[in-house]
Amino acid sequence: MINSACLIVSKPLGVEASALGIRTAWACHESGFETKLLYAEEGVWCLTNTPGYHTSMLKDLISEDGEVFVTREDLEKRGLTEDDLFEGVTVIDAEEVAALCEDCDTVNYF
C-alpha cells in the first residue's frame, strides 16, 4: 500500500491551497491509500472549529478514520492550545514531523 502525507501550511480563508490539500488527502484516503494530513505554520488555523468548508471536510475525513496531525510548536506560536481544536486532531512535536514524513512514500506540500 502507498502511504501519503499532505503537509498544509496555508491559512484557511482566502487561500485555495489549504482546501486543495484537504481534498487531495480525502481522495487518497477514499482510494485506499494510508494518508496523513499534517498542519503546521498558518495551516493550524484550519483546525480551530471555525464554521465552513475546511472544518466540514476535515470532520468528515476524521469520521472516516483519516489521520490529522498538528505541530504543537506552531499552535503555541499562535496562542492556540489543544482545547481550541476540534476532536480527532493529534498534536505532535515538531521533531516528529520528519519521522512521520519518512514513513510515507509521497509528501505533498500545500
- Of 82, 70, 79, residue with least CA distance to 46: 70
Predicted TM-score (pTM) of this structure: 0.88
Q: Which domain holds residue 44?
A: 4-109
For residues 10-37, give the mean pLDDT: 83
pLDDT value of position 6: 72
Alpha-carbon distance of 42 to 10, in angstroms, equals 5
Number of domains the chain contains: 1
Answer yes or no: is pLDDT of 34 > 90.
no
Answer yes or no: is pLDDT of 68 > 60.
yes
Other beta carbons within 10 angstroms of residue 88's beta carbon come to 15
- Of 5, 1, 33, 10, residue with least CA distance to 101: 5
CATH number for the domain spanning 55: value is: 3.40.1260.10
- Of 59, 57, 68, residue with least CA distance to 27: 57
Main-chain dihedrals φ then ψ at residue 21, nearest 5 degrees: -60, -45
Answer yes or no: is pLDDT of 94 > 70.
yes
Alpha-carbon distance of 100 to 89, in angstroms, equals 15
